[in-house]
């Protein structure tokens, strides 16, 4: 039992209780009157009121009842509460996971078929209501404070540290579900950034000590983190909680059930045949967490019209012998069709077939969309000083055009703005002159060989190093898929450093650092191979020609469409960015739920940025002006479509984890005990006081009647 305002109750008791008792000490002062008899006045002469001190205090039922009433009121004034919290002044950080898996409908029995996010918000509200509130005469430091942060891939503060429970409850209720993956690290760093900087005392020459603020080093009170999640957080192991001996600083409140079953899309890719781009293949990957064999129907729709249905047999998930956790299983199917045009391909999973005995608890991953450009063969410009093996290699590829030009011819065509006719520009041991902002590449698609791209989209060259070989590469990337590069030997290498917060992604690593990397911006995408091809054995290996063909497909024709690489394919949590024609006006984006965004203002070069996108589905960019090659014109408005798909193995695995593994500890679910709502007893005390008051009134009136 705790007391919110004990001081106020004691002060009131010190005044009210003596005052009530003193009233019963007062004696009635009477006037002398002659009457014929006192027989009828025996009841009237009893002292029912007093107006003069003092008389002997006698047994009195009314006084007893009035003392009880006053005592109940005074105890209620102290606001007694029963709660698990016993220490005031705590700083709480409420972290609520709003990622896609929190849409699963396996809430607790008390909540019914509610989503995990709704369950998390309900339990977070209980936590807020259990916070210690300040009393009338208590200092602010004695009350609990909390902040509310919701996170998926991105984190957002809904309210900063406050003791106002109304503000906290409104913030929790304002959190909305998203379809983005989950990431805890950004939310944790965002919370720690709210702590004040640490101060140290610096002794001056005169012996005085002046406090000095340590920029970037946080101090202040310890934060106690309350995480409401299902535990499917890939980066939880990089989070380091504070160590305190007196109380836990990180508590995990698990939402959902450990044996939750889900079947969902985890991979979706479209690819055109290398020799015949009219032939289109669409690969569908499906994941199951069920402990029995399952069958699911996958339906393919092209531009909204059903085209084909294929069945996928999914083996049972096998429990891990150590953790006893069922490891999800995957299977897939390939749709093949003849489709030269640009289309919108939709794949839907039907999990309600008779062979599926258990309902799907999570339906967000039952649908995926691909925006597929029309079939084409790329036009390539090779800027070189005379590399015969490069010319021969590109001549063997099915290109619509191959133009070989010298660096001077390229600069001339660049000045004439004639390079826009090429789908891909290849620089062989050459880099264009930088522009005023330091960028060497105009808007377009590029392959850079033998040079380290610098500037805003490049890397930092740390000098030449000795020969080496590749030790690792991204085997799932479209330009490296299926390649074997462990036999590639480099006679000379460069040491490179990738700048922080840049758009550079390393695709292959040597012992000296990045050997192949990709860089991109809103209107530029480039693959860079900075080592000298001629000083390696790569031109004599068949993988080199395959690599060039994959680059042409990836950058020039977009024959391979994958969710994480195509500019028209998004993952919830990412930013939609594109470049529209310079005359585009009245730009709006229609969202998957049908609502329209506020007007989007493009930059000077036509670039637009929107997001991060929150939900899966189709995003339609509409404007008035000139259309692009693959845009749709309807009633004077131009439309360009983007598809957002979840396709995340971690989010589709909706089994709630019993513990969270942090960088410095393992936290079990509800390690601090089940949340209990603070129970205020003062309403019941006042109700009891009112009941006794009515009894006291009845006794008083009956006594007067008698």
More confident residue, 9 or 454: 454
> Where in 303-400 does DSSP place strands (E)?
305-314, 318-319, 326-327, 329-338, 343-350, 367-372, 379-383
Residue 265's pLDDT band, with cuts at 50, 70 and 90, is very high
Give the pLDDT confidence score for residue 203 in this predicted structure: 56
Specify the range with the lowest mean pLDDT, choosing from 10-24, 336-350, 615-629: 10-24
Residue 703's pLDDT band, with cuts at 50, 70 and 90, is low
Q: Kindly tell me if the per-residue pLDDT of 348 is higher than 80.
A: yes
Strand partners, 314: 294
| CA distance linking residue 401 with residue 379, whole number of Å | 4
Specify the range with the lowest mean pLDDT, choosing from 66-75, 143-152, 224-233, 371-380: 66-75
Burial level of 31, CB count in 10 A (0-12/13-18/19+)? exposed
Task: Report DSSP letters for 126-165, one per residue.
Answer: HHHHTSPPPPTTS-GGGS-EEEEEEESSSEEEEEEEE--H
Give the pLDDT confidence score for residue 444 in this predicted structure: 87
Give the pLDDT confidence score for residue 4 in this predicted structure: 60
Q: pTM for the full model?
A: 0.68
> What are the structural domains of the chain?
2-83+681-705 (no CATH), 91-258 (3.40.50.410), 379-557 (3.40.50.880), 569-644 (2.60.40)
The top-scoring range by mean pLDDT among 45-49, 414-418, 480-484, 683-687 is 414-418
CB-hemisphere CA count at 13 Å for 385? 5
Parallel/antiparallel/unpaired status of strands 250-254 and 666-668: unpaired
Residue 197's pLDDT band, with cuts at 50, 70 and 90, is low
Which pLDDT tens digit goes with each residue over 36-71?
666 655 555 555 554 545 455 556 666 667 778 777
3-state secondary structure 622-633: EEECCCCCCCEE
Specify the range with the lowest mean pLDDT, choosing from 9-18, 551-560, 676-685: 676-685
What is the CA angle 203-208-212, rounded to 5? 50
Range 244-267 average pLDDT: 84
Give the pLDDT confidence score for residue 452 in this predicted structure: 85
Q: Is the peptide bond before 612 cis (omega within 30 degrees of 0)?
A: yes
Range 390-397 average pLDDT: 88
More confident residue, 374 or 79: 374
More confident residue, 383 or 563: 383
Share of the chain above pLDDT 90, in %: 34
Residue 619: name the closest of 560, 577, 565 by CA: 577
**Percent helix, strand, coil in the chain (nearest 5)?**
20, 35, 45
| CA distance linking residue 300 with residue 343, whole number of Å | 12
For residues 119 and 108, the answer to whether their CB atoms sit within 8 Å is yes
Residue 531's pLDDT band, with cuts at 50, 70 and 90, is confident
Residue 185's pLDDT band, with cuts at 50, 70 and 90, is very high
More confident residue, 4 or 418: 418
| CA distance linking residue 363 with residue 370, whole number of Å | 18
> Residue 220 phi/psi, 5° resolution?
80, -170
Q: Kindly tell me if the per-residue pLDDT of 676 is higher than 60.
A: no
Range 199-222 average pLDDT: 60
H-helix or E-strand containing 389? helix 388-395
Which residues, other chains included, contact 587 with Cβ-Cβ below 8 Å and sequence gap of 6+? 580, 599, 600, 601, 602, 608, 621, 622, 623
Q: Kindly tell me if the per-residue pLDDT of 159 is higher than 90.
A: yes
CA quadruple 468, 472, 474, 478: dihedral positive or negative? positive
Give the pLDDT confidence score for residue 436 in this predicted structure: 76
Which residues, other chains included, contact 104 with Cβ-Cβ below 8 Å and sequence gap of 6+? 115, 116, 230, 256, 260, 262, 361, 362, 654
Which pLDDT tens digit goes with each residue over 446-494?
999 988 888 778 888 777 778 888 888 888 888 888 788 888 888 887 7
| CA distance linking residue 172 with residue 177, whole number of Å | 12
Which pLDDT tens digit goes with each residue over 67-79?
787 777 777 766 6
Q: For all residues of the chain together, what is the average pLDDT?
A: 81
Residue 325: name the closest of 650, 683, 656 by CA: 656
Give the pLDDT confidence score for residue 200 in this predicted structure: 58
Range 84-94 average pLDDT: 69
Task: Using DSSP, state whether 705 is helix, strand or coil.
Answer: helix
Burial level of 304, CB count in 10 A (0-12/13-18/19+)? exposed
Residue 535's pLDDT band, with cuts at 50, 70 and 90, is confident
Range 82-93 average pLDDT: 64
Range 299-315 average pLDDT: 94
Specify the range with the lowest mean pLDDT, choosing from 87-96, 150-159, 392-401, 402-411: 87-96
Q: Kindly tell me if the per-residue pLDDT of 172 is higher than 50.
A: yes
Give the pLDDT confidence score for residue 86 in this predicted structure: 42
Give the pLDDT confidence score for residue 706 in this predicted structure: 45
Residue 492: name the closest of 507, 506, 473, 512 by CA: 512
């Amino acid at each position: 039992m705790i007391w919110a305002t004990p001081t106020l109750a004691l002060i009131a008791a010190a005044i009210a209780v003596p005052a009530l008792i003193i009233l019963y000490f007062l004696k009635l002062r009477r006037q002398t009157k002659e009457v014929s008899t006192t027989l009828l006045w025996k009841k009237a002469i009893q002292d029912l009121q007093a107006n003069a001190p003092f008389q002997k205090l006698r047994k009195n039922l009314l006084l007893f009842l009035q003392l009880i009433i006053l005592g109940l009121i005074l105890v209620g004034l102290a606001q007694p509460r029963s709660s698990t919290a016993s220490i005031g002044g705590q700083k709480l950080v409420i972290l609520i996971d709003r990622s896609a898996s929190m849409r699963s409908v396996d809430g607790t029995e008390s909540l019914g078929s509610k989503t995990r996010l709704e369950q998390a918000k309900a339990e977070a509200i209980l936590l807020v209501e259990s916070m210690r509130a300040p009393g009338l005469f208590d200092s602010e430091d004695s009350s609990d404070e909390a902040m509310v942060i919701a996170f998926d891939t991105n984190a957002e503060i809904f309210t900063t540290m406050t003791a106002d429970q109304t503000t906290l409850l409104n913030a929790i209720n304002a959190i909305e579900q998203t379809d983005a993956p989950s990431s805890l690290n950004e939310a944790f760093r965002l919370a720690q950034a709210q702590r004040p900087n640490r101060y140290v005392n610096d002794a001056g020459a005169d012996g005085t000590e002046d406090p000095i603020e340590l920029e970037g080093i946080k101090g202040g009170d310890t934060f106690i983190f309350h995480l409401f999640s299902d535990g499917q957080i890939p980066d939880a192991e990089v989070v380091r909680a504070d160590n305190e001996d007196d109380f836990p600083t990180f508590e995990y409140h698990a939402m959902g059930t450990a044996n939750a079953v889900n079947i969902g899309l985890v991979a979706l890719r479209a690819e055109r045949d290398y020799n015949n781009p009219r032939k289109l293949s669409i690969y569908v990957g499906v994941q199951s967490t069920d402990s029995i064999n399952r069958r699911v129907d996958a339906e393919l729709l092209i531009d909204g019209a059903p085209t084909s249905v294929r069945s996928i047999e999914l083996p049972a998930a096998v429990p891990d012998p150590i953790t006893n956790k069922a490891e999800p299983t995957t299977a897939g199917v390939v749709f093949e069709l003849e489709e030269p045009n640009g289309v919108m391909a939709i794949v839907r999973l039907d999990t309600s077939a008779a062979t599926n005995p258990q309902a799907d608890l999570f339906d967000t991953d039952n649908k995926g969309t691909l925006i597929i450009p029309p079939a084409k063969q790329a036009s390539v410009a090779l800027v070189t000083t005379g590399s015969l093996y490069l010319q021969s290699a590109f001549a063997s590829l099915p290109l619509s055009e191959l133009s070989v030009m010298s660096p001077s011819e390229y600069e001339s065509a660049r000045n004439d703005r004639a390079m826009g006719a090429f789908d891909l520009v290849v620089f062989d041991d050459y880099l264009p002159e930088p522009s005023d902002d330091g960028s060497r590449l105009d808007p377009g698609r590029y392959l850079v060989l033998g040079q380290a791209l610098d500037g805003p989209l490049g890397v930092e060259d740390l000098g030449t190093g000795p020969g080496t070989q590749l030790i690792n590469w991204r085997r799932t990337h479209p330009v490296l898929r299926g390649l074997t590069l462990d036999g590639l030997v480099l006679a000379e290498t460069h040491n490179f450093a990738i700048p922080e917060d840049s758009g550079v992604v390393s695709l292959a690593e040597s012992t000296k650092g990045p050997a192949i990397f990709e860089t991109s911006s809103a209107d530029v995408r480039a693959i860079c191979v900075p080592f000298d091809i001629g000083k390696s054995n790569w031109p004599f290996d068949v993988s080199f020609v395959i690599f060039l063909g994959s680059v042409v497909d990836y950058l020039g024709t977009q024959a391979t469409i994958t969710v994480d690489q195509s500019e028209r394919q998004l993952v919830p949590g990412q930013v939609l960015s594109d470049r529209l024609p310079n005359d585009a006006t009245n730009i709006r984006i229609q969202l998957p739920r049908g609502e329209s965004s506020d007007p989007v203002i493009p930059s000077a070069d036509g670039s637009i940025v929107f997001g991060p996108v929150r939900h899966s589905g189709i995003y339609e960019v509409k404007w008035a002006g000139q259309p692009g090659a693959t845009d749709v014109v309807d009633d004077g408005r131009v439309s360009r479509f983007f598809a957002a798909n979840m396709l995340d193995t971690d989010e589709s695995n909706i089994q709630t984890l019993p513990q969270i593994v942090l960088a410095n500890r393992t936290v079990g679910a509800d390690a601090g005990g089940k949340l209990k709502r603070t129970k205020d007893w003062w309403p019941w005390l006042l109700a009891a006081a009112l009941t006794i008051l009515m009894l006291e009134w009845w006794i008083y009136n009956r006594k007067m009647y008698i």
